[in-house]
């Protein structure tokens, strides 16, 4: 329990750092983002009178001390008030986020689970059968990790979608189905997710495989492996129950580090496929200097990544009993 509380404390601290960063950044930048945003808003139509004050709270303005602005900002965040989006004016930022968040969570979540499972399985076999064909695939696979996600995605889009007519643009077929909990929609969404998910998996798989392979090799040289083999345990038990079980631990902590990268890469992949997730929202925000939306997307992504890390930490306590005892 103390372990869980300790971790929770850390993630709350990290969250606070992110929120504060989000508050400080627009205020540290020279120039007045508020005027820039207001100018853009007025291009879309009349701006309600309260808008300037709301924007100044988010982005910094001349009124009130920084400290009081900070607390008002925190209060707004707690109540889920992120201001109005410039890109989708006059839709509130929170509505934009609500529409897009689930798309990304499902896409990135499923792709990461696939990539992790496949990579670990691949790494286990490569480490176990060192020097065989499986092991020889590791080096070429690391090249895939060095390819820019989005470049691979665009090529896939061009060659696969263009030539073979795979569905790609958008998260589902907007022509024939509506967003609903029905089979036509779900199957359409799955079909449209295949290519984006595949590019995420291909470019992140090798990292897991290489890490797992190297840990397997180190684990196989441990004395307890020799002892277990001497006892005549079946090879399957040796490979999975003894070697892989221990070798996988650093990879699980690695998820924490990787999640941020995967989300970052997925953001760009989404833009390539016009996937209706948070990455596309961020891209739109960046393209339109939509600071309120940008700030909120950053916060939401941070909360998601921190939450994911927290789950991984809890999982770690389950699979590695030493963590629990020490805490």
The residues binding other proteins (CB under 8 A) are 10-11, 13-14, 17-18, 21-22, 25-26, 29, 33, 130-131, 135, 139, 142-143, 145-151, 154-155, 157-158, 214-215, 217-218, 220-223, 225-226, 229, 250, 256-257, 259-261, 263-265, 267-268, 271, 282-283, 286-287, 289, 291, 294-295, 297-298, 301-302, 305-306, 309, 322
Measured from the CB of residue 236, what is the shortest distance to other proteins in angstroms? 18
**Residue number with CB closer to other proteins (107 or 305):** 305
DSSP, collapsed to helix, strand or coil, labels residue 92 as strand
Measured from the CB of residue 161, what is the shortest distance to other proteins in angstroms? 11
**Residue number with CB closer to other proteins (189 or 297):** 297
**Residue number with CB closer to other proteins (189 or 285):** 285
Measured from the CB of residue 224, what is the shortest distance to other proteins in angstroms? 11
**Residue number with CB closer to other proteins (189 or 262):** 262
Going by the DSSP 8-state scheme, the letter that residue 237 receives in this structure is I
Torsion of CA 256, 259, 260, 262, to 10 degrees: 150
**Residue number with CB closer to other proteins (185 or 298):** 298
Evaluate the omega torsion of the peptide bond into residue 301 and state whether it is cis, within 30 degrees of 0: no
Phi, psi of 190 (to 5 degrees): -65, -45
Phi, psi of 172 (to 5 degrees): -160, 170
CA–CA distance, 120 with 107 (Å, rounded to integer): 20
Measured from the CB of residue 191, what is the shortest distance to other proteins in angstroms? 21
**Residue number with CB closer to other proteins (168 or 189):** 168
CA–CA distance, 173 with 90 (Å, rounded to integer): 26
CA–CA distance, 293 with 85 (Å, rounded to integer): 6
Other Cβ atoms closer than 10 A to 173: 16
Q: State the Rg of the chain over Cα.
A: 24
CA–CA distance, 97 with 281 (Å, rounded to integer): 8
**Residue number with CB closer to other proteins (121 or 268):** 268
Closest to 215 measured CA to CA, from 252, 262, 256: 252
Measured from the CB of residue 10, what is the shortest distance to other proteins in angstroms? 7
Return the structure tokens found at 224: 């307890």
Measured from the CB of residue 187, what is the shortest distance to other proteins in angstroms? 27
DSSP, collapsed to helix, strand or coil, labels residue 170 as coil
Measured from the CB of residue 218, what is the shortest distance to other proteins in angstroms? 6
């Amino acid at each position: 329990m103390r372990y869980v509380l300790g971790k929770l404390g850390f993630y709350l601290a990290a969250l606070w750092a992110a929120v504060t960063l989000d508050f400080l950044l627009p205020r540290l930048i020279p120039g007045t983002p508020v005027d820039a945003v207001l100018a853009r808003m007025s291009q879309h139509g009349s701006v309600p009178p309260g808008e300037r004050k709301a924007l100044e709270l988010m982005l910094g303005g001349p009124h009130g001390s920084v400290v009081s602005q900070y607390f008002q900002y925190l209060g707004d965040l707690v109540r889920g008030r992120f201001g109005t989006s410039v890109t989708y004016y006059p839709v509130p930022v929170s509505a934009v986020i609500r529409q897009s968040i689930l798309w990304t969570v499902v896409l990135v979540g499923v792709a990461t689970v696939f990539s992790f499972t496949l990579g670990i399985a691949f790494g286990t076999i490569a480490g176990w059968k060192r020097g065989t064909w499986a092991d020889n695939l590791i080096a070429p696979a690391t090249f895939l990790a060095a390819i820019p996600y989005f470049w691979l995605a665009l090529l896939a889009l061009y060659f696969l979608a263009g030539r073979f007519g795979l569905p790609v643009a958008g998260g589902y077929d907007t022509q024939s189905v509506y967003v609903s909990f029905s089979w036509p929609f779900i199957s359409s969404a799955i079909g449209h997710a295949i290519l984006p998910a595949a590019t995420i998996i291909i470019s992140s798989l090798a990292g897991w495989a290489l890490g797992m392979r190297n840990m397997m090799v180190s684990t196989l040289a441990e004395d307890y492996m020799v002892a277990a083999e001497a006892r005549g345990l079946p090879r399957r038990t040796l490979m999975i129950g003894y070697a892989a079980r221990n070798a996988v631990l650093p990879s699980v902590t690695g998820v924490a580090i990787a999640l941020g990268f995967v989300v970052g890469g997925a953001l760009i992949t989404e833009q390539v496929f016009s996937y209706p997730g948070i990455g596309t929202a961020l891209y739109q925000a960046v393209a339109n200097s939509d600071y309120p939306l940008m700030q909120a997307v950053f916060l939401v992504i941070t909360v998601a990544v921190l939450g994911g890390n927290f789950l991984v930490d809890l999982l770690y306590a389950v699979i590695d009993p030493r963590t629990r005892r020490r805490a």
